[in-house]
């Protein structure tokens, strides 16, 4: 049996690589990459000369059986996506699941992913949170947003720059007016920015500033208002009142 290594790669800043990740990419028999052109830039920086094989959403169904068989025959593969950890809103799940089902060892290295620094830097509670990935583009989008509106845990999701304003306007329809949101842009890159506020404030900001880069949206959980009910006063006898006065 071979082994499949899941190797996170930087989400922007190429210095966010671990020594272990670089060594794994050098020592594997081959590297499966979402886009070989993107990964080649990383290889050049760290002087990695390993073989790159395209493995992405458009071909993974066709290549899955062959790769699994090669792993069973003793090959060692490293799997990378264009940025972050494979399988997190990126290709990789199908191959990982097939390896687990076939008894092939899978080892996932710790490393870069966009939603962790976003939720930590948001300032919202992060001991419990919900990861939503990308919102549906059309069917089911409004239904998903309605569910997020009722979620009392912090919610983190990804959105493209082309649909950012649309998302904020839809949030405004279903969110409380003071619901706080942190929009994180270009995390780990030169123009990293985190803009915090309610829907109106964020819509104003992003309609007056260029919308460029990769976005992570962190939504504050719905605040549960505790209703205080006045308990009926307990009637006290004259004797009890007299004892209290004494």
Q: What is the pLDDT of residue 230?
A: 40
Among 39-48, 54-63, 232-241, name the one with the lowest average pLDDT. Answer: 232-241
The 3-state secondary structure of 199-213 reads HHHHHHHHHHCCCCC
Q: Which domains does the chain have, with CATH numbers?
A: 3-108 (3.40.1010.10), 115-219 (3.30.950.10)
Query: Do strands 30-33 and 76-80 pair parallel, antiparallel, or not at all (unpaired)?
Result: parallel
Write the pLDDT tens digit of every residue in 76-97. 999 999 999 999 988 899 999 9
Write the pLDDT tens digit of every residue in 185-197. 999 999 999 999 9
CA distance 139 to 80: 30
The pair of structure tokens assigned to 47 is 């002087």
Q: What is the pLDDT of residue 225?
A: 52
CA-CA-CA-CA dihedral for 118, 124, 129, 135, to nearest 10:
-60
DSSP secondary structure letter of residue 109: P
Q: What would the mean pLDDT of 62-68 be, rounded to a whole number?
A: 94
The pair of structure tokens assigned to 185 is 């842009």
Burial category of 212 from C-beta neighbours within 10 Å (exposed 0-12, middle 13-18, buried 19 and up): exposed
The candidate with the shortest Cα–Cα distance to 115, out of 104, 128, 131, 99, is: 131
Q: Which pTM value belongs to this model?
A: 0.84
Q: What is the pLDDT of residue 223?
A: 83
């Amino acid at each position: 049996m071979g082994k499949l290594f899941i190797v996170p790669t930087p989400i922007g800043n190429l210095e966010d690589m671990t020594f272990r990740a670089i060594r794994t990419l050098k020592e594997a028999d081959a590297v499966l990459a979402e886009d070989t052109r993107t990964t080649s830039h990383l290889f050049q920086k760290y002087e990695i000369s390993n073989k790159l094989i395209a493995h992405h959403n458009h071909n993974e169904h066709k290549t899955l059986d062959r790769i699994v068989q090669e792993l069973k025959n003793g090959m060692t593969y490293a799997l990378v996506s264009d940025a972050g950890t494979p399988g997190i809103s990126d290709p990789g799940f199908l191959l990982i699941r097939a390896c687990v089902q076939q008894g092939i060892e899978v080892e996932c290295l710790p490393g870069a992913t966009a939603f962790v620094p976003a939720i930590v830097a948001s300032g919202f509670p992060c001991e419990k949170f919900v990861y939503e990935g990308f919102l549906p583009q059309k069917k089911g989008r409004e239904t998903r947003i309605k569910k997020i509106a009722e979620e009392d845990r912090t919610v983190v999701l990804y959105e493209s720059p082309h649909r950012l304003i649309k998302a904020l306007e839809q949030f405004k329809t279903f969110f409380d007016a003071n619901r706080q949101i942190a929009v994180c842009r270009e995390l780990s890159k030169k123009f990293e920015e985190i803009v915090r506020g309610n829907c109106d404030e964020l819509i104003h900001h992003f309609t007056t500033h260029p919308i460029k880069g990769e976005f992570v949206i962190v939504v504050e959980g719905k605040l549960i208002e505790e209703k205080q009910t006045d308990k009926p006063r307990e009637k006290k006898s004259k004797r009890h009142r007299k004892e209290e006065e004494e």
